[in-house]
Amino acid sequence: MTHMTLTYHLRVFTVMSHRPYHETQYLLSFSEYIVCLTLSVKIFKLLSSNISRKEHSRHTAHTLETMAQYTTLEYKKLNGSEPVLMDVYSPTLAPTKDVISLPIVMFFHGGALTVGHRRSYLPNWLKGVFDTPRNTVSRIIYLNDLGNRPCVVP
């Protein structure tokens, strides 16, 4: 990986300095090498700090054709280091210090179990499809008594 990055930077320098590639392939001066290294470290730090700042703060999901607010949480860690994330969307309620009880709808994305992520494939195009009784592709199965909770799908 380091070797690839270095080679890339060497190529960039070749273009910038109008020197033929074969002459400069491994002939960077020490100062040029340091500049390359510093730049790449700075870019990496900038990118990673942006990523970590994005998590654990509230966002508006424009991409899912909704203005709903969500918070990204880590629900588990793989091998003690790699986080697995979930987006929690919550209804607009009056702010309070009490802990409110809410029913939750869990959703899993499609993608043949091989592609996709938690911001992909929300089936917005299904809006209204459930209204037609002849639709047999999708089904709602009530596994248990809903109590007096409202039905999500009409």
152 binds another protein (CB under 8 A): yes
For the chain, give the number of residues. 154
137 binds another protein (CB under 8 A): yes
**What is the Cα–Cα distance from 14 to 26, expressed in whole angstroms?**
11
**What is the Cα–Cα distance from 39 to 5, expressed in whole angstroms?**
12
Which one of residues 22, 104, 131, 133 is an interface residue with another protein (CB under 8 A)? 104
Tokens of 43: 């870019």
Q: Tokens 């629900």 label which residue?
A: 75
79 binds another protein (CB under 8 A): no
Which one of residues 126, 131, 132, 134 is an interface residue with another protein (CB under 8 A)? 126
Site stretch for another protein (CB under 8 A), options 11-19, 20-28, 36-44, 122-130:
122-130
How many CB atoms sit inside 10 A of residue 39's CB? 12
Of 35-64, binders to another protein (CB under 8 A) are: 58, 61, 64
Residues linked to residue 70 through DSSP beta bridges, in sequence order: 59, 89
Give the SS3 label for residue 83: strand
Q: Which is nearer to another protein, 40 or 71 (CB)?
A: 71
75 binds another protein (CB under 8 A): yes
Site stretch for another protein (CB under 8 A), options 4-12, 28-36, 37-45, 140-148:
140-148
Which one of residues 1, 4, 15, 153 is an interface residue with another protein (CB under 8 A)? 153
Site stretch for another protein (CB under 8 A), options 7-15, 19-27, 46-54, 139-147:
139-147
Note whether 48 and 55 are within 8 A (CB).
Answer: no
Tokens of 19: 């020197």
